[in-house]
Chain A
Amino acid sequence: MTTELSVVAPPAPAVRHAEPRLPVPYRVIARWPETPDTVTLRLDPVAEALADFVPGQFAMVHCFGRGEIPVSVSSIPTTGGLAHTVRGVGAVSEGLCAARVGDVLGLRGPYGTGWELERALGQDVVVVAGGIGLAPLRPLIRDAVAEPRRHGRVNVLIGARTPDDLLSKYETRRWATAYTGVTVDRPADGWSGEVGLVTRLLDRARFDPPRSWAFVCGPEPMIRATARDLVHRGVSGDRVRVSLERNMRCATATCGHCQLGPVLLCRDGPVVGWDRAEPWLSVREL
């Protein structure tokens, strides 16, 4: 009986604190293009698994012979494994985008802080994503819409440069939210949706600012504009959670690259409260 049970039970996730800088092999079991330069890879451990990720955390993803980059987790399937969404902009990320089903990558993690949606219990939720910034927010949105009674109204606001740059177009329509808005900076032929900055959608979102939490990810100017707008509307700065990006080499708080003023983003971020982040993002080239 016990033998049978052990066959169906998933393998216990290994916690690898002994050598946090050694990657663990993960196989690409599915791959789908999100946009012309962005790919989502569904990954399963070849043998040993990493500890569980929470939405907002990231892994260092290794492309054999090229190097490794930090990538936020874009899906945490209940069946195990995880997904990463990668935009090809450099040697490593282009190598990852070119990975095929069956290829094996190296992963280490989980690193960093999570979104901590659980702190928004009973409150309205405003998710604002710019471009590939939707990827780290996707597992948070899924959690929020999966259990609608845990929160007030859930809003998802998505912006992208062009219609081609929108991620998860099919999934976006299926999310049962109080409001889902999509806007692009530059419309293409056939685009009948909104045009303009994502902050314009805040007028349509349904939330009570003093009783709301916001989760924001995207390019830094978009984060600044969105967070300031939210605070202006009455959302408390510490309830505006933003995910930030800096160069990262080790992810173990020892290489010094991801400093942003007083914090190391791999350890104290990437998700931080806007009340703390605002002074850092207000100084040019900090």
Chain B
Amino acid sequence: MGAITQATAVLDRQGLAALVAALVAGGRTVVGPTVRDGAVVLAELTSAEDLPFGWGVELDAGRYRLTPREDGAAFAHSAGPQSWKAFLHPQREQLWSARRGPDGVPTFTETQPESRTYAFLGVRPCDLRAIAIQDRVLAGRPPRALDSARAGATPFPDRGYRQRRRGALLIAAECTEPGATCFCVSASGGPAADGGFDLALTEVVDDDGHRFFVRVGSEEGARLLDGVPHRSADLTTESVARGAVDAAREHMGRSLPPLDLRALMGESLAADRWDGIASRCLTCANCTMVCPTCFCTTTEEVTDLTGDHTERWQHWDSCFDLDFSLLHGGPVRASTRSRYRQWLTHKLSTWHDQFGSGGCVGCGRCITWCPAGIDITEEVAALAAERDAAADDQHTAHDDGSAHHDRGPQP
């Protein structure tokens, strides 16, 4: 494996076109970035011509604009509104159907998951990490037995996800131009692809031409590369490519404060800041829809007019929805404050407890696509400031007990 990850090459634009053609000819559904409806979206590509050559993006909190580029680069945009979960963990999926026979006995039939064999082209390093995180949630084992020997002992993977994931080929595109809402470096990631790919491309456009420095990450990637015209990597292309990725590390538009965020979240459950966020948050669920790791789903029962046929559908759900926490008597999380807190503390803290890793990769989508422009990095910094101020108050407090007032436990 070590030897494979060392293998490098250079593809030119014709080589890239041949790569896409080879994947299509091999029966794969090739999905990659393309321009549609004023955004770089992920969609099925019929050829490399569908890639967004000559398009970049301009991002800010609550803002996304396509911008033309002179250099004709195809991967110089940062994360768009979708992520690869739209394909691996689709928005709607039928789980099973049932028919009730004349004797009243229902027969339950599992619905075979859609069995497309995907090739993903242009997967950002943040999204590679997001896929690895969803693997742990939907296709893997829980990190450890939590309470008893029985807890967590049996994995119940999402069958459709695992099947689609197993067949998918991943071609990464390393980041050379992070957007203004990007913060992967402070989310313990970075603009370089560390692994989990079959091939990793780094786009280089300069006086020597438009080309892609290629690193091979798997045997399947090596086979694919062998089948298309390429040349061995020259030192100039390699150093320009690696230099551009290194430089991107220094150009993150935003950053999370360098703190133990798990601890910060745990200590901030009673913070006043949640009320401030709640006064802006529309609970529209956009952040959870665009987040590449948010995985929550609900189920619904769909029957036909005879009442003897029923289908069980799974579809994306959001912790911002009131019904998400509904129990007899009402929702557990009725306030906006509690729902935003659930989302953020899950992402940055309790995800570790549940799945053995964090849930944020720093792609910035939740910032870009929040209609109210709520910025996760700004909110985390504000929570840290509130905690520090409370700690200072405690230090300087007199004995009249007036200093630190916690919302406190319920009776």
B95 with A254: CB separation less than 8 A: no
Tell yes or no: B346 within 8 A of A by CB: yes
Binds B, one of A21-29, A153-161, A184-192, A207-215: A21-29
A282 to B269: give the CA distance in the assembly, Å: 11
A104 with B104: CB separation less than 8 A: yes
Tell yes or no: B36 within 8 A of A by CB: no
A257 with B354: CB separation less than 8 A: no
B100 with A64: CB separation less than 8 A: yes
- Chain A residues in 8 Å Cβ range of B104: 102-104
A256 to B269: give the CA distance in the assembly, Å: 19
Tell yes or no: B105 within 8 A of A by CB: yes
Tell yes or no: A67 within 8 A of B by CB: yes
Contact mask B112-154 → A, CB, 8 Å, 1/0?
0000000000000000000000000110001000111011101
Tell yes or no: A245 within 8 A of B by CB: yes
A249 with B298: CB separation less than 8 A: yes
Tell yes or no: B299 within 8 A of A by CB: yes
A250 with B147: CB separation less than 8 A: no
Q: How far is the CB of B151 from chain A (nearest CB, A)?
A: 5
For A264, give its contact among B105, B301, B324, B354 (CB under 8 Å). B354
Identify the closest chain A residue to B328 (Cβ): A89
A43 to B60: give the CA distance in the assembly, Å: 58
Contact mask B135-176 → A, CB, 8 Å, 1/0?
001100010001110111010111100000000000000000
B317 with A255: CB separation less than 8 A: yes
Binds A, one of B16-24, B74-82, B240-248, B331-339: B331-339
Q: How far is the CB of A200 from chain B (nearest CB, A)?
A: 17
- Chain A residues at the B interface, C-beta cutoff of 8 Å: 17, 19-25, 27, 46, 64-68, 87, 89-90, 102-104, 106, 113-114, 116, 221, 224, 245-247, 249-250, 252-257, 259, 261-264, 267-269, 271-273, 276, 281-286
Tell yes or no: B296 within 8 A of A by CB: yes
A221 to B409: give the CA distance in the assembly, Å: 12
Q: Assuming the A-B contacts A254-B297, A267-B142, are A25 and B108 also in contact, with contact meaning beta carbons closer than 8 angstroms in the complex?
A: yes
A-B contact pairs, 28 of them (CB 8 A): A19-B110, A64-B98, A65-B303, A102-B104, A106-B98, A113-B147, A113-B148, A113-B150, A113-B151, A116-B148, A221-B410, A246-B325, A256-B319, A257-B298, A259-B342, A261-B350, A261-B353, A262-B350, A263-B146, A263-B147, A264-B354, A267-B142, A268-B146, A283-B269, A284-B338, A284-B407, A285-B337, A286-B338
A285 with B353: CB separation less than 8 A: no
Q: Assuming the A-B contacts A64-B100, A256-B317, A283-B270, are A21 and B95 also in contact, with contact meaning beta carbons closer than 8 angstroms in the complex?
A: yes
For A267, give its contact among B152, B159, B342 (CB under 8 Å). B152
Q: Assuming the A-B contacts A25-B106, A106-B98, are A254 and B138 also in contact, with contact meaning beta carbons closer than 8 angstroms in the complex?
A: yes
Tell yes or no: B258 within 8 A of A by CB: no
A256 to B291: give the CA distance in the assembly, Å: 15
- Chain A residues in 8 Å Cβ range of B110: 19, 22
Dominant secondary structure of chain A at its interface with chain B: loop
B137 with A268: CB separation less than 8 A: no
A25 to B109: give the CA distance in the assembly, Å: 12
- Chain A residues in 8 Å Cβ range of B334: 285
Q: Which 7 A-B pairs have the closest CB atoms?
A: A262-B353, A252-B156, A256-B296, A285-B338, A282-B409, A89-B328, A268-B146
Tell yes or no: B307 within 8 A of A by CB: yes
Q: Assuming the A-B contacts A65-B307, A102-B104, A104-B104, are A262 and B354 also in contact, with contact meaning beta carbons closer than 8 angstroms in the complex?
A: yes
Known: A23-B96, A268-B147, A286-B333; 15 extra A-B contacts, CB below 8 A, are: A17-B156, A22-B96, A64-B100, A246-B325, A246-B327, A246-B332, A247-B325, A252-B158, A254-B156, A255-B296, A259-B350, A259-B354, A261-B350, A262-B349, A262-B350
